[in-house]
Homo-oligomer: A and B are copies of this chain.
């Protein structure tokens, strides 16, 4: 079903080594330093696949871009409206079991985005 590819490995490696929450294009530019022939479509395809299999997290914020996160454990994302930075934060979240009890909704994963102004932009 899923074969090894050095392109996918490189994409994961780039994502593993940043604490920003890059876009597909940012990752593309970064991977090109190692694999100059890689194509943007390959980056998109692998990110979608990794996201679908739960190995990485896909994150939609109000800037219109899809962002990716190597950290899949539940945590909050602070998005600065000025500089666009996305900062990780620990934040206690009510257990999701209530959702299945009350609404019959089976939760799979959770995205928590807080919009505001970051330390540097104040």
Contact = CB atoms under 8 A, between A and B. Distances in A.
Interface of A: 58, 60-62, 64, 78, 80-81, 87, 89, 91-94, 96, 98-99, 102-119, 122
7 closest cross-chain pairs (CB), A and B? A104-B119, A60-B60, A107-B116, A108-B116, A106-B117, A92-B94, A111-B113
Contacts of A60: 60-62, 64
Number of copies: 2
14 contacts: A58-B62, A60-B61, A60-B64, A92-B94, A99-B114, A104-B118, A104-B122, A105-B117, A105-B119, A107-B116, A108-B115, A111-B115, A112-B112, A112-B113
A33 to B, nearest CB: 29
Contacts of A104: 118-119, 122
A62 to B, nearest CB: 6
Contacts of A91: 94, 98-99
